[in-house]
Amino acid sequence: MVARRPPGASVRSVPRLLRRGGIWAATIGLAVVLVAVLAAAGVASGQDALHPSSKPAPKDLVATASDFHNLATMTRVRGFFISNPLGHLKQALRVANSPKGGVYPVGTIIQLVPQEAMVKRRKGFNRATHDWEFFTLQTTALGTTITTRGTSNVVNRFGGSCQSCHSAAAPQFDFVCEHDHGCAPLPVGDDVIAAIQRADPRPLTPPGP
Ligand code: HEC
């Protein structure tokens, strides 16, 4: 004889099934949550790799014409002008204003006149120039054009090599000559230099961020 289920059996099995179903639903739910969390973590870590929140500071300034601006928008130190598009202006000014001198931070731009500049490149750029790159610039009401750039190849308007003159500066002054650091003097007086500085024809729009 076939065993008959007691009448209440099917009724009792419903909550059991439901209970089992509940466990499955919870397990699946948990798995979905886990997958979502893992996926989110994966996406997040992928984004971090592509868009790191803290960008490493650039360690070199390969200057383009747009890095040079009217001298009046730079910071004046005695007779010359300083900027630092890499954000190290404070440090550069500390060196410029220290009687003991120091090494200028990477990215420092120094100018005496609108048409010439020296730019501090990355460490190891050129040992003979203490990592300075020299520039001659053409300046007009439209802005700046780079005419020549480099190291021993660059000469000023009088045919003198920037490198050979500036390398005579006492070592603690990092190639900055001024009047008393040991360089041969320029063949023009301070009054002429001041007039050339004031005559910078470039727009006065301040450098961007
Ligand atoms: C005859 C030597 C001589 C040559 C060549 C020369 N300079 Fe200078 N430079 C000086 C002297 C001296 C000063 C300081 C003048 C002053 O403070 O009025 C000076 C000042 C400067 C300054 C301001 C900071 C400092 O050193 O006092 C910069 C920047 C500069 N020169 C860049 C150049 C560049 C770029 C070249 C080449 C295109 C160049 N110089 C060629 C002698 C020279």
Q: Taking CA 69 as the corner, what is the angle to CA 66 and CA 75, rounded to the nearest 5 degrees?
A: 130
Could you tell me if the CB of 60 is within 6 A of ligand 1? Answer: no
pLDDT for position 85: 97
Per residue in 141-176, pLDDT tens?
Answer: 999 999 999 999 999 999 999 999 999 999 999 999
Determine the residue of 148, 177, 179 to mutate for testing ligand 1's pocket, defined as the one with the most ligand atoms within 8 A of the Cβ atom: 177
Q: In what side-by-side order are the strands of the sheet with 75-77?
A: 75-77, 80-83, 109-111, 116-120, 132-140, 143-150
% pLDDT > 70, the chain: 71
**92-110: b (≥16 Cβ within 10 Å) or e:** bbebbeeeebebbbbbbbb
pLDDT for position 205: 78
Distance CA 77, CA 92 (A): 11
Beta bridge partners of 133: 119
Distance CA 204, CA 69 (A): 8
Residue (of 108, 117, 184, 103) closest to 145 by Cα position? 117
| Ligand 1 atom 21, closest CA | 112
What is the pLDDT averaged over residues 12-20? Answer: 50
Residue (of 76, 155, 144) closest to 110 by Cα position? 76
Segment holding 21, helix H or strand E: helix 9-50
| Residue type, position 186, single letter | L
Residue 37: pLDDT over 50: no
Per residue in 62-99, pLDDT tens?
Answer: 999 999 999 999 999 999 999 999 999 999 999 999 99
What is the pLDDT averaged over residues 24-49? Answer: 47
Sequence ranges of the domains in the chain: 8-56, 65-198
Contact 21, 29 (CB under 8 A): no
Could you tell me if the CB of 165 is within 6 A of ligand 1? Answer: yes
Segment holding 109, helix H or strand E: strand 109-111
Could you tell me if the CB of 116 is within 6 A of ligand 1? Answer: yes
pLDDT for position 121: 98
Distance CA 118, CA 132 (A): 6
